[in-house]
Structure 1
Amino acid sequence: MLTFSWFYSLMLLFMTLMIFVKFNKHILLILMSLEFFVVMMFYVWFMYFSMMDVNQFMSLYYLIFSVNESVLGLTIMIIIMRSEGSDYLSSLSVLKW
C-alpha cells in the first residue's frame, strides 16, 4: 500500500511538470500548475517524515513559505494584468521591465 502511494505521488509530480511545460501561454495556468506541484511536494514530504518518524514541523514551515510564494505570484500576475491588459505571456516584453 505504501509503495502504491509513493508511485501515485511521484506520477502526479511528473504530470504537474508536464502540465507546466505544455500549458505555458497564460500566467494563471503556470501559477496553478506550480501550486499543484507545491501541494504534491508537501504530500511527498509529509509521507516521508511520517515514515521516518521525524518531527513534522518542517512540513509546516514548507507550507508557510509556499503560501508566501503563491501570494507573491498572484501579486505579480495582478500587476502585469493591470499594466498589460491580459495574462498572456506572449504580450510581455522583456525590454519593458
Structure 2
Amino acid sequence: MMMNWLLLVIFMFFVGNLIFVSKHKHLLIVLLSLEFIVLSLFFFFLLFLSFIINDMYMLMVFLVFSVCEGALGLSILVSMIRTHGNDYFQSFSLL
C-alpha cells in the first residue's frame, strides 16, 4: 500500500518538474509548478515521517517554509505585473 503512494508521489514530483522545465513563458505557471513540486514533497515527507520516524514536527516546519516561499513568489509576481504590465519573461530585460 505504501509503495503505491510512494509511486504516486514520485510521479507527481516528475510531472511538476516537467511542467517547470517546459513552461517558461509565464511566471504564474512556473510558480504553480513550483507549488505542485512542494505539495509532492509534502506528501513524501508525510509518508516518510508517519511510517518510519513517527514524528510530525519537521512537517510543520516544512509547511511554514513552503508558505513563505509561496508568499514571496506571489509578491514577485505582483510587483512584476505592476511594473511591466504582464508576466511574460520575454517582456523585460535583466540589465
Q: Which amino acid is the alignment partner of residue 25 of structure 2?
A: K
* Identical residues among aligned pairs (%): 35
1:30 aligns with 2:30: yes
Matched with 1:11 is 11
RMSD: 0.8
* Contiguous gaps of at least 5 residues in structure 2: none
Deviation at 1:54, TM superposition (A): 2.9
* CA positional deviation for 1:51: 0.9
Q: Which runs of 5 or more structure 1 residues have no equivalent in the other structure?
A: none
1:63 matched residue in structure 2: 63
Number of residue pairs aligned between Structure 1 and Structure 2 = 95
Letter paired with 2:34: L
Distance of 2:73 and 2:60 partners within structure 1: 20
What is the one-letter code of the residue matched to 2:66? S
- 1:77 corresponding residue in structure 2: 77
Separation in structure 2 between the aligned mates of residue 55 and residue 74 of structure 1, nearest angstrom = 31
What is the one-letter code of the residue matched to 2:35? Answer: E
TM-score scaled by structure 2? 0.96
1: CA distance between counterparts of 2:69 and 2:7? 27
1:4 offset after TM fit, Å?
1.0
CA-to-partner distance for each residue in 1:19-46, whole Å, 9 max, x for gaps?
1011110000000000011011000011
- Structure 1 residue 53: deviation in Å? 3.3
For 1:26 and 1:79, the matched residues in 2 are separated by 14
Cα distance in 2 for partners of 1:55, 1:9 equals 20
- What residue in structure 2 maps to residue 40 of structure 1? 40
Which 4+ stretches in 1 moved above 4 angstroms?
A: none
